[in-house]
Amino acid sequence: MAFIERFEDIRGWQEARMLTQRVYALTAEGQFARDFGLRDQIRRAAVSAMTNIAEGFDCDSKREFARFLGIARRSSVEVQSLLYVARDAGYISHDEFQTHYKQATKTKALIGALKHSIT
């Protein structure tokens, strides 16, 4: 693994950032935008994935970083679960669901791999 100097160099963080951008765009219009509870929850979960990676990167130990990566990974899973709610409520199409679910899966996998590599 190449030496990482900044949290922005972490592929999992980059994908979590992409997930966050996509979630914000998805939730900015239509019925989804008016469902404040669901909109805010899925946005918070996406933001949590990327911010926990960044925060954990600045920890003093690998063990603490791994703990933050675990939280980030679970936040990606939370996004996946909330996408089901949005789909079931008719806020997003099947294709939108698939696109965002795959992004969350990719994010989750990269975070999990990083966590595994440091423990």
| CATH (domain of 32) | 1.20.1440.60
- Residue 92: phi and psi, rounded to 5, are -135, 155
Residue 1 lies in a domain: no
- Residue 21: phi and psi, rounded to 5, are -60, -45
Tokens of 113: 């791999």
C-alpha–C-alpha distance, residues 79 and 66, integer Å:
20
Please give the tally of structural domains in the chain.
Answer: 1
C-alpha–C-alpha distance, residues 2 and 25, integer Å:
32
Residue 114 lies in a domain: yes
Is residue 89 a contact partner of residue 31, using CB atoms and an 8 Å limit? yes
Residue 80 lies in a domain: yes
Tokens 């440091």 — which residue? 118
Is residue 23 a contact partner of residue 79, using CB atoms and an 8 Å limit? yes
- pLDDT tens string for the chain (119 positions)? 467 899 999 999 999 999 999 999 999 999 999 999 999 999 999 999 999 999 999 998 999 999 999 999 999 999 999 999 999 999 999 999 999 999 999 999 999 999 999 98
Tokens of 116: 């595994």
Write out the residue range of the structural domain in which residue 43 sits: 10-118
pTM for this predicted structure: 0.94
User: What is residue 1's predicted lDDT score, i.e. its pLDDT?
Assistant: 45
- Count the alpha carbons within 13 Å of 58 in the hemisphere toward its beta carbon: 5
